[in-house]
Each structure stands twice: as structure tokens, then as C-alpha cells.
């Protein structure tokens, strides 16, 4: 009988926000695989691996590099290679873990690996975690949704018309991947100066930044790990 491949959610960046089950699984694993990419200077980086390094986990970590490209051909090749490696691991009697920031099933690249393994009848287990927008809301003391309010998550690609419609319909908005829609967001802020806007960078890390000052966002570059929460205007 094959061992189960576990997908462990690490949380948003604060090492204390991983679950006890996730931490135990990392410590009991024989191998840990983490997604990584390259920075502006073409150096390999992995936020997941850095976080594991803060958790007193002795298990060896292997980083699989994902290309930051809109076309997914090269990424699919990386996923397929890792799937074959994971299958070889469990066939050798090992207990491998695939780790990811936030929640492994919420805008997460490792979900594609999970789906391929399930399709191949390989036993898998996904351990949930805290997504960044929930940690951000907790940091700022925001009641994210209340009573009959609805939440809408926008994954970067959007239009000013879509955001206007959602605001008019009084959704609470979580906007992620801000680098994909920075000019649209700046236009939105100019058009709606009275919006309740909460901006976050690097939630859970020592260099975290939070502001509700809309004017501060007009010329501020949005890093990859940033998000906006927009609450409906009071009636």
C-alpha cells in the first residue's frame, strides 16, 4: 500500500499561523517539495522554503522552480516532472510533502500537481491553511463580511467596469495579484475617493505594511505579495 502524499498549507507568512497538523506532517515527512521562482535579479527564491526554515523542521527541502510566464507550457512540464518524482517517492516507501504558502487550494500552483496525482489514483491529503486575505483582515481588525453581505475575490485580471458594478452592488472585495491591475486600481481610487480601502503588503512578515490612506497608493508600487480589501460604504 502506497503512502499518502500530503499537501501542506503554510499560511500567509507568519510561522505561528500554520496548523498543528500541518507542522506535524512537515516534521514527519521524508522529503518536502516547495514551489519557487526567480527574483528581479534572476536569483532563485522560495517563500515557502523560507517559511519552513523558520519552523524548526529538519526534513530535507527541494525547490521546484516555476517560470513566471502567462503561457503555462513550461509550468506544466515542471508539474509533470514533479508528479513523476512524487510517484517514485511513494513507490520507494517514502512520505513526501508538497508545501505552499497560504492555502494549498486557493490560487495555488500546487493544486495542479494534486489533481494529476488524484487522476493517477495516488492517495493524497490536503491540509488547509490561512489564506492571506483572512490574515490581513485579522491584522486590521476588519469584520470582513457581516449579516447578509457577500464577499467577492478578484484575482488581478479585472476592468474598471467590473469593479464599479461590484462596488455598486455592495460586495466586500478582496483584490489579489495587484501587479496585474495596478493602473485600474489607481483609476478606481480616483473615481471613488470615499471608499473604505485597506491595503496590505507582506502580511505576516516583519516587513508587513498596512494603510487605509488612499492617497498613499497613487504612486506606490504594488509588490507580488500585496492585496486590497474594499468594504461597502455605510448606508
**Per-residue model confidence as pLDDT tens digits over 82-115:** 999 999 999 999 999 999 999 999 999 899 999 9
CATH 3.40.1010.10 residue window(s) in the chain = 5-127
**Per-residue model confidence as pLDDT tens digits over 54-82:** 998 999 999 998 876 656 678 889 889 99
Predicted local confidence at residue 75, as pLDDT: 82
d(Cα 23, Cα 52) in Å, to the nearest integer?
Answer: 9
d(Cα 101, Cα 83) in Å, to the nearest integer?
Answer: 19
d(Cα 212, Cα 197) in Å, to the nearest integer?
Answer: 6
Q: Which fold, 132-231?
A: 3.30.950
Q: Which helix (H) or strand (E) holds 66?
A: none
The residues that bridge with 70 in the sheet, in sequence order, are none
d(Cα 66, Cα 211) in Å, to the nearest integer?
Answer: 31
Number of Cβ within a 10 Å radius of residue 102:
27
Please check the confidence at residue 38 and state whether its pLDDT lies above 90. Answer: no
Alpha-helix runs per DSSP H in the chain = 20-28, 47-53, 73-91, 110-119, 132-140, 160-168, 182-191
Please check the confidence at residue 123 and state whether its pLDDT lies above 70. Answer: yes
Q: What does pLDDT average to over the chain? A: 90
d(Cα 57, Cα 67) in Å, to the nearest integer?
Answer: 27
Cell 467590473 sits on residue: 162
pLDDT band for position 147 (cuts 50, 70, 90): confident
d(Cα 96, Cα 89) in Å, to the nearest integer?
Answer: 7
Q: Which fold, 5-127?
A: Cobalt-precorrin-4 Transmethylase; domain 1 (3.40.1010)
Amino acid at each position: 500500500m502506497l503512502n499518502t502524499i500530503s499537501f501542506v498549507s503554510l499560511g500567509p507568512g507568519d510561522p505561528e499561523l500554520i496548523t498543528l497538523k500541518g507542522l506535524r506532517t512537515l516534521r514527519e515527512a521524508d522529503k518536502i517539495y516547495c514551489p519557487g521562482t526567480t527574483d528581479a535579479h534572476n536569483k532563485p527564491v522560495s517563500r515557502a522554503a523560507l517559511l519552513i526554515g523558520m519552523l524548526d523542521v529538519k526534513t530535507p527541502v527541494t525547490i521546484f522552480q516555476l517560470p513566471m510566464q502567462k503561457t503555462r507550457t513550461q509550468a506544466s512540464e515542471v508539474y509533470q516532472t514533479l508528479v513523476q518524482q512524487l510517484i517514485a517517492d511513494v513507490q520507494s516507501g517514502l512520505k513526501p510533502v508538497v508545501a505552499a504558502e497560504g492555502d494549498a487550494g486557493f490560487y495555488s500552483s500546487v493544486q495542479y500537481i494534486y489533481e494529476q496525482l488524484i487522476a493517477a489514483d495516488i492517495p493524497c491529503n490536503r491540509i488547509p491553511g490561512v489564506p492571506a486575505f483572512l490574515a490581513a483582515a485579522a491584522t486590521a481588525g476588519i469584520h470582513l463580511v457581516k449579516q447578509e453581505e457577500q464577499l467577492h475575490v478578484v484575482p488581478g485580471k479585472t476592468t474598471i467596469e467590473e469593479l464599479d458594478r461590484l462596488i455598486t452592488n455592495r460586495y466586500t472585495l478582496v483584490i489579489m495579484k495587484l501587479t496585474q491591475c495596478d493602473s485600474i486600481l489607481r483609476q478606481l481610487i480616483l473615481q471613488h475617493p470615499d471608499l473604505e480601502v485597506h491595503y496590505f503588503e507582506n502580511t505576516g512578515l516583519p516587513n508587513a505594511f498596512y494603510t487605509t490612506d488612499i492617497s498613499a497608493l497613487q504612486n506606490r508600487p504594488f509588490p507580488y505579495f500585496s492585496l486590497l480589501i474594499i468594504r461597502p460604504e455605510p448606508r
